[in-house]
Amino acid sequence: MNCGSGMATRMVALFALGISVGCEPTYSGSGCGSRPKATDAAFGAIRLQSTLPPCTMGLEAPRGSAPHLIVSFQCAGESDPFLVAVKVDGELKALREVAGAVYGSQIWVDAGPWEPSDSAWHDVEAILDPLDLFKETDESNNRGRERIRITEPDASIDADASGFIIPYDVGGDNFTLVSQVPSGTPVNVRLRMIYGGSYPGIRRSVRSGAALGASDTIEMVCPDYGNRNDFVTRWTPPGPGDYDVEFRLEPQGSVPDANLSNDVVTKRLTVTPSMARRIAARPAPGSRP
């Protein structure tokens, strides 16, 4: 028997069954073939990523939240290794080796912890491929700058977004803040906050004398992907009148709160007599008072 012809027969049979042999699958759905080659690296953004609460990413980070300096850029396809340099106020902060994303396009580079003792704005520059190891079609998009800073911890109530909302099931849009409702109308009382610091937890409460009292305590562990800025409780005021509702935050633990004045907000909800009660109270035609 000819071993070579037997091998050939088996290969034909495998290909007939749709089974690829003798090559490595590359990108999804393509079977075998060459990997996509990167032709360009383009700067994206520079941000501070808090690795402790409040688990945020932005141009600012609260002191004590263990922020890292993050650089993002686009580089779709496979490439040889090249470098990313990060400078802060003109001085080299980090030099990282990277490569193209192969099957994706977005790349994130952690340039390490960054938390200066001041709260001033600092200039940060990222330089992709400073040694020109990666031959690109466009060398003009390899640099980018941002200004970043550290802020003092400050939990706060977003006063403009906190208040009273009429829910869907009673005819509201569950979005617009209102200051007046007819008697008997339930409302969603929403406290919206900015976590603002590396607090182990924050107690949130809404109160109006004996008519309303609700609270919770939010605890955060990074990474945190949910919308945890809102505390919402449903409430039906007991009758007509003006209700002053206190919205309050109480950060837990030993981390200081830089501004206590934005931890408490008071808003008024006016409850009017319902139309049914007005009709019932109106004298019938021809009747005596």
Residue 3 belongs to a domain: no
Predicted TM-score (pTM) of this structure = 0.75
Instruction: Supply the mean pLDDT for the chain.
Output: 86
Mean pLDDT of 136-142: 92
Q: Identify the pLDDT of residue 275.
A: 66
Residue 37 belongs to a domain: no
Residue 15 belongs to a domain: no
Mean pLDDT of 94-111: 93
What is the CA angle 59-61-63, rounded to 5? 150
Residue 184 belongs to a domain: yes
Name the residue range of residue 262's domain: 156-279
Mean pLDDT of 40-58: 95
pLDDT band, very low/low/confident/very high, at 276 (cuts 50, 70, 90): low
Q: Are 185 and 232 in the same domain?
A: yes
Residue 210 belongs to a domain: yes
Q: Using DSSP, state whether 279 is helix, strand or coil.
A: helix
Asked if the model's pLDDT at residue 289 lies above 50, the reply is no
Q: Are 134 and 225 in the same domain?
A: no
Asked if the model's pLDDT at residue 18 lies above 70, the reply is no
CATH code: domain of residue 124: 2.60.40.10
pLDDT band, very low/low/confident/very high, at 36 (cuts 50, 70, 90): confident
Q: Are 147 and 189 in the same domain?
A: no
Structurally, how many domains does the chain consist of?
2
Report how far Cα 243 is from the mean position of its chain's Cα atoms.
34
Give the residue from 128, 151, 174 where a domain finishes.
151
Q: Identify the pLDDT of residue 140.
A: 93
Q: Are 185 and 134 in the same domain?
A: no
Give the residue from 103, 124, 151 where a domain finishes.
151
| 209 φ/ψ sector (left φ>0, alpha ψ -120 to 50, else beta) | left
Q: Are 189 and 268 in the same domain?
A: yes
